Amino acid sequence: MRESIRGVAVVVASGALAAVLLAGCTTAVAVPPDATDAEVDAYVASQLEPYWQNILASSARADGSADGIADELDVATVAFTTPDTWSTVQTSCLQAAGLQAREISGGFTIDDPGNLDATAVSLAQWTCLRQYPVDPRIVGFLSDAQVMFMYDDFTARLRPCVAALGFDVSPPPARGQYLRLVREGSSWSPYSRADGELVAQSPQQWAFLNGKCPPLPDDPFGSYRPDESRTGVAH
């Protein structure tokens, strides 16, 4: 699943305990808490960093300095939006900055920059994106602790179980790399083969696999399972 500012992938975790089935027995395992506002804010900032670097590059003078931009603006989240409200809030923010912006097809466009030059327009857009992002927790963003909980379950329980059934499972990345991979949108799961294809290829295979190797609960980990794997599992 690729995480992004507009939308990332599904579910806000709520339960303090999840029933994790371990090869024939049921053990109550405490799932770590949801991501805090501080974690989400840091993630939003990291996702917008390439845009900020593009602004600096496009406004650079011949001597290498940015045109009137010394450091990254001190801008933080004002309020989180939802996928349904994002374009409306972004449009209002841009209009407040002096731009003639309007909504189009779930996004927005700027018809007239007014008195603002290209750099000022980019700064206004970056600022609005930074202040009013979609809350990624709505669409499946996990806390750092939840990501590592998932990795430990995948590698210690689920992958060995799937492999023992004869499925060709790809090897996991190093534990120290996993959080970065998830945040970059290229996370590993025990449902994939080394060639990138899914381990099971039919509803019957998925039902068999899920019956022997139950997945983590959809709340909050549902985004990290392929849709095909939901055969034969209560959601």
Q: What is the share, in percent, of the chain residues with pLDDT greater than 70? A: 81
pTM for the full model? 0.77
Q: Which of 20-24, 178-182, 207-211, 214-218 has the lowest mean pLDDT?
A: 20-24
Tens of pLDDT, residues 70-86: 566 788 899 999 999 99
At residue 220, the pLDDT reads 93
Name 101's bridge partners.
110
- Rounded alpha-carbon distances, angstroms, from residue 198 to 49, 168, 188, 210: 33, 9, 12, 14
27 vs 171 pLDDT, higher one: 171
Q: Are 132 and 90 in contact (CB under 8 A)?
A: yes
Cα within 13 Å of Cα(107), Cβ side: 6
Q: Whose structure tokens read 């804010």?
A: 41
Q: Give 108-141 pLDDT, tens digit per residue.
A: 999 888 888 888 999 999 999 999 999 999 989 9
Give the number of other CB atoms < 10 A from CB of residue 139: 20
Q: Which of 21-30, 36-45, 197-206 has the lowest mean pLDDT?
A: 21-30
Do residues 97 and 115 touch, judged by C-beta distance below 8 A? Answer: no
Which pLDDT belongs to residue 148?
A: 97
Confidence (pLDDT) at 9: 29
Range list of H helices, the chain: 37-58, 86-96, 118-131, 144-153, 159-164, 175-184, 203-212, 218-221
Rounded mean pLDDT of 41-65? 83
Q: Is the pLDDT of residue 57 over 60?
A: yes
Work out the mean pLDDT of the chain and round it to a whole number: 83
41 confidence band (pLDDT: 50, 70, 90): very high
Rounded (5°) CA angle 141-142-144: 130
Say yes or no to pLDDT of 153 above 60: yes
Cα–Cα–Cα angle for 211, 185, 127, nearest 5°? 135
Distance CA 106, CA 119 (A): 25
C-alpha dist (Å) from residue 114 to 49, 100, 213: 26, 7, 60
Residues 139, 151: Cα–Cα separation, whole Å: 19
The total number of residues shown for the chain amounts to 235
Torsion of CA 192, 195, 197, 202, to 10 degrees: -90
